[in-house]
């Protein structure tokens, strides 16, 4: 219709009725001179054909020009439209939003730089020192947790003592050495509180020093070690650093970008690594070089590089919020690290700020979680729940005397099946369910006792950690 309107004009007023309209040009042309002869006659006869060819060429050129113009205009508008011009076309809005998302991704490096600049001053190194025998060879990394058993002592071959001649009595000499180290971060600037892992400060006889990013050192006191989680809180007198902002670890998504900061290898302080959340709600068994182990539930898996010395350091989201405490690594894998969700530490932090120690709810039993394999090997009719059992030592009773469990009559070999209707499984353990409550709360237990199920109401006790 567009070309038809341009090149098929309506009938001019000066044409009389019955006369045929012809395409005319707007510009005025001189009248052609009359020619004679065969060549000119032929040219005259071919003139209508030539005119038609010329017109066709012009139409094609103009059509191509218009087509090229609109294509070019669309291309430019598609990639150069500003936000104020978006109301006229939904496709432009869609393209702008895509560009905006791409810009956000491109700006991630800048965001990481700003977050590191903000958080790094609040991250501290924790140095563990202790008086040890001068002829001993302490491992400066013996307090770092793994989720797999440690190498055997003779992995690199038997240790051959030096030949020092006839055996002579030696006098034991003591000297103070660094025997471990880790990372922590400030959670209260007013009280000088630092959060870290319990395994970093597990030695009751050691001394602890906090070193800031600018090299200042302060003596630290362990306020509390959490009995149910790998969390500890230190107090540092004279420490004047800003506290970090704690996020909500329940909102984590797999694939989300995270940043880890820590004292890598006990030597490279405030080392920064970046990765993603590789998994959530993991369950691992973390152990140290001395055979101590602990079950860590509901932990975050990340591929942000976590090395020796990173224990206790913050795992941070792109909002600059701490969402985890870096805790363990899998030495058989590559870039497989684990962090305790910060929500698990919030209650301990609040407790220490209010009472000066960690308060936890408890019922007072030792147990193992039942699964299908345990049920089959022990001819149990039930393949879930918490079986109350003794510990490996004779002093480790199945039910703690005077505990809430003891008061309601729970005994060894009872199986706790449910808590307030929540089934106890390997993914949702008894300890995890109890820790979602407060001391003094009353909960209902479904218990399998001597071949029968029964309901027991129990009031959770208050456990005060050191």
CATH code where residue 226 lies: 2.40.10.120
User: Is 306 within 8 Å of 182 (Cβ atoms)?
Assistant: no
Domain boundary among 298, 328, 352: 352
The one catalytic residue in 311, 351, 403, 429 is 311
The one catalytic residue in 226, 230, 303, 414 is 230
**Same domain (yes/no): 281, 199:** yes
Domain boundary among 296, 326, 352: 352
**Same domain (yes/no): 275, 413:** no
How does pLDDT run across 156-183, given as a tens digit for each residue? Answer: 333 334 445 555 555 667 788 888 889 9
User: Is 261 within 8 Å of 121 (Cβ atoms)?
Assistant: no
Whether 78 is in a domain gets the answer yes
Beta bridge mates, 342 = none
Question: What backbone torsions phi and psi does residue 208 show, to the nearest 5 degrees?
Answer: -125, 135
User: Is 274 within 8 Å of 290 (Cβ atoms)?
Assistant: no
Whether 12 is in a domain gets the answer no
Tell me the CA distances in angstroms from 359 to 354, 460, 463, one per residue in order.
10, 12, 6
Q: What is the pTM of this model?
A: 0.65
- The arithmetic mean of pLDDT across residues 372-392, rounded, is 91
Domain boundary among 53, 80, 106: 106
Question: What backbone torsions phi and psi does residue 375 show, to the nearest 5 degrees?
Answer: -65, -40
For the chain, what percent of residues have pLDDT higher than 90? Answer: 41
Q: Which two tokens stand for residue 337?
A: 């690290």
Tell me the CA distances in angstroms from 226 to 161, 398, 431, 451, 463, one per residue in order.
40, 21, 13, 36, 10
Q: Give the span between the Cα atoms of 307 and 212, in whole angstroms.
A: 19
Say how many domains are in the chain: 3
**Same domain (yes/no): 401, 336:** no
Among candidates 311, 362, 301, 380, which has minimal Cα distance to 334? Answer: 301
How does pLDDT run across 243-286, given as a tens digit for each residue? Answer: 999 999 999 999 999 999 988 877 788 889 999 999 998 888 77
- The arithmetic mean of pLDDT across residues 418-431, rounded, is 91
For the question of residue 199 being annotated catalytic, the response is yes
For the question of residue 449 being annotated catalytic, the response is no
Average of per-residue pLDDT values in the chain: 75
User: Is 276 within 8 Å of 269 (Cβ atoms)?
Assistant: no
**Same domain (yes/no): 244, 137:** yes
For the question of residue 214 being annotated catalytic, the response is no
Among candidates 165, 172, 184, which has minimal Cα distance to 131? Answer: 172
Residue 332 has pLDDT above 80, yes or no: no
- Residue 388 lies in domain: 359-464
**Same domain (yes/no): 272, 303:** yes
User: Is 352 within 8 Å of 233 (Cβ atoms)?
Assistant: yes
């Amino acid at each position: 219709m567009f070309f038809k309107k341009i090149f098929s004009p309506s009938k001019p007023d000066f044409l009389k009725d019955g006369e045929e309209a012809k395409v005319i040009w707007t510009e005025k042309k001189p009248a052609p001179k009359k020619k004679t002869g065969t060549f000119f006659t032929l040219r005259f006869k071919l003139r209508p054909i030539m005119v038609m060819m010329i017109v066709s060429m012009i139409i094609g050129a103009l059509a191509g020009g218009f087509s090229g113009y609109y294509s070019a205009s669309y291309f430019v508008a598609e990639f150069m439209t500003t936000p104020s011009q978006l109301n006229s076309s939904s496709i432009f809005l869609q393209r702008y939003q895509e560009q905006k998302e791409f810009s956000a991704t491109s700006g991630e490096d800048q965001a990481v730089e700003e977050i590191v600049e903000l958080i790094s001053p609040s991250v501290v190194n924790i140095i563990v020192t202790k008086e040890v025998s001068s002829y001993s060879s302490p491992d400066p990394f013996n307090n770092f947790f793994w989720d797999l058993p440690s190498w055997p002592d003779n992995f690199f071959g038997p240790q051959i003592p030096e030949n020092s001649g006839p055996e002579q009595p030696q006098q034991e000499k003591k000297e103070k050495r660094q025997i471990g180290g880790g990372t922590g971060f400030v959670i209260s600037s007013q009280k000088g509180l630092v959060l870290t892992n319990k395994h970093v400060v597990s030695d009751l006889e050691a001394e602890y020093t906090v070193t800031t990013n600018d090299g200042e050192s302060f003596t630290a006191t362990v306020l509390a070690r959490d009995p149910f989680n790998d969390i500890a809180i230190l107090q540092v007198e004279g420490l004047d650093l800003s506290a970090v902002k704690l996020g909500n670890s329940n909102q984590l998504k797999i694939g989300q970008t995270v940043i880890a900061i820590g004292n890598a290898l006990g030597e490279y302080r405030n080392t920064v690594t970046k990765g993603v959340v590789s998994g959530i709600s993991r369950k691992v068994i973390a152990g140290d070089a001395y055979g101590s182990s602990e079950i860590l539930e509901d932990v975050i898996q990340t591929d942000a590089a976590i090395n020796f010395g990173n224990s206790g350091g913050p795992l941070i989201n792109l909002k600059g919020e701490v969402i985890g405490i870096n805790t363990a690594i899998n030495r058989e894998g590559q870039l497989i690290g684990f962090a305790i969700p910060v929500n698990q530490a919030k209650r301990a932090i609040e407790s220490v700020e209010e009472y000066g120690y960690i308060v936890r709810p408890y019922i007072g039993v030792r147990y193992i979680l039942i699964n299908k394999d345990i049920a089959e090997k022990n001819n149990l009719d039930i393949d879930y729940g918490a079986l109350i059992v003794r510990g490996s030592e004779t002093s480790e009773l199945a039910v703690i005397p005077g505990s809430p469990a003891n008061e309601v009559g729970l005994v060894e070999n009872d199986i706790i099946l449910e808590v307030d209707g929540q089934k106890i499984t390997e993914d949702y353990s008894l300890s995890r369910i109890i820790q979602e409550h407060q001391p003094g709360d009353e909960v209902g237990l479904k218990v399998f006792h001597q071949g029968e199920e029964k309901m027991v109401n129990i009031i959770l006790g208050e456990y005060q950690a050191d």
